[in-house]
Structure 1
Amino acid sequence: MTAADGKQVNEAVHASAGCEGAGPLAEGSSLAIMRRMAGLMRPLAGTEARAIGCGSLGHLCTVWCIMASTAALIGLSGGQGRLTETWGLWAAVAVVVALLKGVMAYGEQYYNHEMAFSVLRDIRTTVFDKMRTLAPAKLARRGRGDMVTVLTDDIELLEIFYAHTLSPIVIALLTSLLNLILLTALSPWMGLAALVSYLVVGLLIPLASASPTFRVAMAERIAQGRLRSLLLETLDGRRELVGLGAAGQVRRNLDSATDSMLDARRKTSRNTLYNDLATQVVTLVCMAVFTLLVCFLGGRGTIGMTPALIGLVGFLSSFGPLIPVARLGAGLQPTLAAARRIFGIMDEEPAVEEVVDGLSLEEYTGTHAQGLSFAYEPDRGEESTGQGPVQVLRDLNLDIRPGDLIGIQGENGAGKTTLIDLLMRFRDRDAGDLTVSELPIERIRTADLRARQTLVSQDAYVFSETLADNIALARPSATREEIERAASQACLDDLIAKLPKGLDQVLTGHGSELSEGQKQRVALARAFLSEASLLLLDEPTSNMDALLEGKVLRSLIDQQGERAYLIVSHRPSVLAHTGRLMTLGEGRLLSD
């Protein structure tokens, strides 16, 4: 595949993700999903055509090899005068087409998988990019394990469609049509019997088994995603679960989730088995009926013995392309269920649209909120009960200027994190004004806004990279000296001294060797390294003892300069260092 082909595939995937009317497809029929999946491979139509050509010729070679061999054997036995003279030619034809069959089979597999893996690569990239636009607001309620399942197992399942569905269907259609022409030329009755047999095996069986299998396949995909989310959460919180004596309850939850997934998988396997059994039985019945018909026609003299034998062996060997199509009724349903989940993410509208060609944020002169209001829409499950939007913030006013050190306190659920989301434009306000440097926040280029703000959340994530690389996430172009200075400002000197390789130590298992307090200091080091003018700190010292907390707060104040700090915390010891303390309650901010 050329670079131009790869670019076209990527564009097709992005176009599919954002096409008009794409949303209903995530809940639409299997046929609509298949059409959309097929549309993604349009830039590689040439590769797919080569796969279809090789596959069709390969299966026809199988039939022709058997028919030519039969003709050669009849001629060799002296059964027909003309065939007796040309049996050697028919034997040579059988050998040639047998060799050609092997070449064509390799070509079919090669081109099918070249096309499939190219499309899967770009689908995975598109889904990952889509998740980035949905984060954090739209992914907050999705399980991490479910997202991993979509990016790995669900996308891998699409390979069945691209490598083992599209071309087999076309190959079955082409080969069946050519075989029908050949059998009809030998005898119209044989052609009619073959037509009925092909329709039953290649059309009726997959249609009959599709609907029940899809329902259980979708349940299996959902159950697997939930189980993986539960497993990841259990592994992340294993210390707390053991310490609280809750391991038994978690194990029961895991057993229940596993049982649900296995039950759905058993149903899927059972339907697949029934489909396979029906395919084999119906195929054998069709072969038996055709054989009886040929014997009847031959006995009545309607057809000669030679065309009868050649037609019979040709028909019996012609089901090779049809049987995989018959099995698609059950075998393809897990793939369609996976595709529906993937398209559901691709069609999801982000909470906010990224601004690419907006206003430039040259410098930070402050953030101003006037009459700010925000309400959460209910979940789908809540809509059925008639519950309306949940108002979190109403008529909130806030001024942040360079050099400010503002503390915000409030009860759990008061909306502190929501306020940070609005200030970072992870969500858009419902009403009121929100400006940054006197510019409407929704008109500012997103890249400029991110460059002027940084967030230190309560739960810091550490990647499986070196400590230096983890800190440098805030500014990849930072020098080694700048990274070392940021680490020191975040009070990481003791950790660096303990690590065998210091800043170059690889933190495996997402920083499993670090305490929660050390992870928070890594997050603070990132904030110090950034060149942001506004630092939003959500419980930045919640996992630190009093002594370490004091050192970190002193370092924050010493390094503040003209930066603005907005600190959300429950700790009086933290809030005591702020220059202005405000309380969030009933959706409004009140000065203390």
Structure 2
Amino acid sequence: MKTQRRLDKPGRQRPQQGTDLRPNGNRPTWRDLRRGLALLDIPRDRTLLAILAATITLGSALALAAVSAWLIMRAFAMPPVLDLTVAVVAVRALGISRGVFRYLDRLATHDIALRGTVAARTTLYRRLATGNPRTALAARRGQLLARTGEDIDTLGETVVRVLIPVAVALLLALIAVGGLALISPLAAAILAIALLLSGTVAPALAARAATIREHAADTHRGEHRDATMAVLDHAAELRVTGQLRPALDRAARALRHTDTSIDRAATTTAVASATVPLAIAASVIGSLLIGLELYGNGAIALTSLGILVLLPLAAFEATSALPEAAIHALRARNASHRLLGLLDDAGTGDVAPVASSAPAEGLELRGIQHGWTTPLAPPLDATWPPGSRILGTGSSGTGKTTLLLTLTGLIPPLAGSMEPGWAGAREQSLFLAEDAHIFATTVRDNLLLARGDATDADLLAACEAVGLGEWLATLPDGLGTVLEGGEEALSGGQRRRLLLARAVLSPAPVLLLDEPSEHLDAASAVRVLDALLDRGSGLMDAQRTVIVASHLAPTVEPDEWVRLG
């Protein structure tokens, strides 16, 4: 029985996108960083090996400085050449070992970091795919890309740029102070104080400058990213409505504010940068004065004087990386805070969203009201048996997409219930979004997303069914042709038909299609819409339930026509 249903919405409402993805809106804490590092699943044995390799690398530099100082001072007295042989060989060996262990250090640390980012992204993707769908739907696209890209990379780099350098600096400082104490406890005390200053004060000042910069810049950087994404995604629409220039101005203004906030932190950064060389100078001058006094009193040999002066120079190599480590730790803390907000909002991830090929039981709606915060339409009661063809129409902003998201179980209804239930809807439904992603890979791989076991014959048949046969025949490698830049390699109509081919291939018994005929010419758009709503067209199996949201009117009559607005 063909019916029409008109739902006059109580008020226009836009989806609440751009949600702050920070847990409870709290400020970042160091506990967030500890939780974030747990996502990397860092192996303890590999970490210890990396610390050992890095310590030997800088330890070789420290020993090289001491042996070189002894060799220079000893050679000054022109002893027999054989007295210098061991020192000469040691200098060469230490120089070689430093390069070898530096290479091993880089291999070990980057292996840990890359494995960690893979583990963190796997956890995040799995949580987003199986957790609360509202998390990904409510996030701004720019924010979501930043969380899955920049933030995870920042967290992964923490191993290389924070954990290992801090551990190595602590070990090298103890070794250097202990070695210098064998010659002069007072010089060792001066070195310890200088190392403490360069290892704590300089990083603290650097972190302070980064806090000033990040606090002001993070907001503006997010505004710039969102404004840029809006221009990239909707340039044509903005140009038509005369909003392109204001959108570009917003992006430029946000970028200027970002640059200004970064410049404000320059003074503190300069002081932090000067702290390390000042500490080195104080340590070397103090050691030189103490060494000259001890040498004048005959308390130490000339070779010990050389060691006393040159050893502190090498000792600061480990602490010189700590200011940058402190800045990165601050960034990693903020990145962890944002990531944890996303993960916590997604929930435990116990819902399987993958479409099933099990027979659909039909849909029964009881008082369903859809919307993000307030209802967009009166309650909807309907019974749609398997194979139903449903059309939802209305102007932009009337809630067509929101209704589809509700029916597919991606967002909960504000009121009412549905059978087979929301979990069942997610398992049996495929939602084809208007802005579904086209990946920069082959045509075949883009289609196999819908059904991984499909053969090339299945893929070709689906492309023929949606009108891509001629286009596919012109491609140099057919299904194996790589779509460079993803959707940039396609016209709007080709992209829409490729997405429609995914729907044809999908095993899901319930299909929900958002504007499937968008970007097609008028005649083609109506033909596609008619084929979707006509069980006898052969485009979709007659037993599959097809629910379409469109602003167009078909020439065939659907089983039920829901008019929004």
Alignment check: 8 A CA contact 2:475 2:481 kept? yes
Secondary structure of residue in 1 paired with 2:542: coil
| Matched positions, count | 539
Written as runs of structure 1 = structure 2, the 5 A alignment for 1:74-223 is 74-78=73-77, 88-133=85-130, 137-158=134-155, 160-217=157-214, 219-220=216-217, 223=220
Aligned-partner residue type, residue 367 of structure 2 = G
Answer yes or no: is the 8 Å Cα contact 2:33–2:337 preserved in 1.
Answer: no
User: What amino acid is the match of 1:58?
Assistant: T
Q: Is the 8 A contact 1:271 1:330 kept in 2?
A: no
Which residue of the other structure, out of 520, 523, 540, is the alignment partner of 2:496?
520
Distance 1:359 1:151 in 2: 24
8 Å contact 1:40–1:119 — kept in the other structure? yes
Task: Provide the residue aligned with 2:320 in structure 1.
Answer: 323
Q: Deviations over 1:533-567 (max 9, x none)?
A: 32323333344444324422442302362333333
CA distances 1:1-51 after superposition (whole Å, capped 9, x unpaired): xxxxxxxxxxxxxxxxxxxxx95898432x434434554566532222222
The one-letter amino acid paired with 2:251 is: L
| 1:341 corresponds to 2:320 | no
Measured against aligned partners, the alpha-carbon deviations of 1:552-591 in whole angstroms (never above 9, x if no partner) come to 24423023623333333343x3386223333456xxxxxx
Task: State the partner residue of 1:68.
Answer: 67
Distance 1:503 1:109 in 2: 40
Question: Could you tell me how far 1:435 is from its partner in structure 2?
Answer: 1.3
Asked whether the equivalents of residues 209 and 265 of structure 2 are also in contact (C-alpha less than 8 Å), the reply is no
Q: CA deviation at 1:181?
A: 2.0
> How far apart are 1:413 and its partner, in Å?
4.2
Instruction: Pick closer, same or farther for the CA change 1:539–1:86 going to 2, 3 Å.
Output: closer
Which residue of structure 2 aligns with residue 4 of structure 1?
Answer: none
| 2:544 equivalent in structure 1 | 563
What whole-Å deviation, never above 9, does each CA across 1:289-329 have from its counterpart, x for those lacking one?
34334445555677666544432332333211121124433
Measured in 2, the distance between the counterparts of 1:24 and 1:286 equals 47
1:40–1:546 distance in 2 versus 1, CA, 3 Å: closer
Equivalent residue number for residue 516 of structure 2: 540
Superposition pairs for residues 28-427 of structure 1, below 5 Å? 28-29=28-29, 31-36=30-35, 38-39=37-38, 43-78=42-77, 88-133=85-130, 137-158=134-155, 160-217=157-214, 219-220=216-217, 223-243=220-240, 246-267=243-264, 271-296=268-293, 307-330=304-327, 332-350=329-347, 353-356=349-352, 362-373=358-369, 376=372, 389-392=373-376, 395-410=379-394, 412-427=396-411
What is the CA distance between 1:353 and its match in structure 2? 4.5
Aligned AA (1:32): R
Give the partner amino acid of 2:550: S
For residues 248 and 358 of structure 1, the distance between their equivalents in structure 2, rounded to whole angstroms, comes to 42
Query: 2 CA distance for matches of 1:511 and 1:419?
Result: 26
Shift of 1:366: 1.0
8 A contact 1:76–1:87 mirrored in 2: yes
Taking structure 2 as the reference length, the TM-score comes to 0.80
Moved more, 497-506 or 362-371: 497-506
- Residue aligning to 2:562: 582
User: Does the CA-based 8 Å contact 2:356-2:509 persist in structure 1?
Assistant: no
Q: For residues 415 and 314 of structure 1, do their structure 2 counterparts lie closer, same or farther at Cα, with a shift above 3 Å needed?
A: same
Normalising by structure 1, report the TM-score.
0.77
Larger displacement relative to structure 2 (292-301 or 402-411): 292-301
Contact 1:535/1:565 (8 A) holds in 2: yes
The residue type equivalent to 1:425 in the other structure is G
How far did residue 115 of structure 1 move? Answer: 2.0
Distance 1:540 1:258 in 2: 36
Are the equivalent residues in 2 in contact too, given 1:130–1:346 (CA < 8 A)? Answer: yes
**Distance between the aligned counterparts of 1:84 and 1:483, measured in 2?**
80
Q: 1:422 to 1:508 in 2, by over 3 A?
A: same
Cα-to-partner distance string for 1:319-354 (whole Å, 9 max, x where unaligned):
11121124433455444444443444344325x944
Greater CA drift, 245-254 or 315-324 = 245-254
Amino acid of the residue matched to residue 308 of structure 2?
G
Unaligned runs of 5+ residues in structure 2 are: 1-21
Q: What is the SS of the residue equivalent to 2:210? A: helix
User: Which residue identity does 2:545 align to in structure 1?
Assistant: A
Q: Which has the higher contact order (CA 8 A, sep 6+)?
A: 2
Q: Deviation per CA, 1:72-116, whole angstroms, max 9, x where unpaired?
A: 44444459x9x9995554454444434433333333223222222
How big is the alpha-carbon RMSD for the aligned residues of Structure 1 and Structure 2?
Answer: 4.0
1:221-265: CA deviation from partner (whole Å, max 9, x where unpaired): 554454344434433434444555554334323322332343344
Secondary structure of residue in 1 paired with 2:136: coil
CA distance in 1, matches of 2:477, 2:90: 70
How far apart in 2 are the matches of 1:74 and 1:207? 38
1:434 corresponding residue in structure 2 = 418
Q: Residues 388 and 546 of structure 2 are in contact (CA less than 8 Å); yes or no, is this contact kept in structure 1? A: yes
- Contact 1:25–1:32 under 8 Å retained in 2: no
3-state SS, counterpart of residue 318 of structure 1:
helix
Give the secondary-structure state (helix, strand or coil) at the position aligned to 1:319.
helix
Shift of 1:401: 0.9
Cα gap change, 1:36/1:279 in structure 2, threshold over 3 Å: closer, same or farther? Answer: farther
8 A contact 1:130–1:345 mirrored in 2:
no
Identity %: 23
The 3-state SS of whatever aligns with 1:355 is: coil
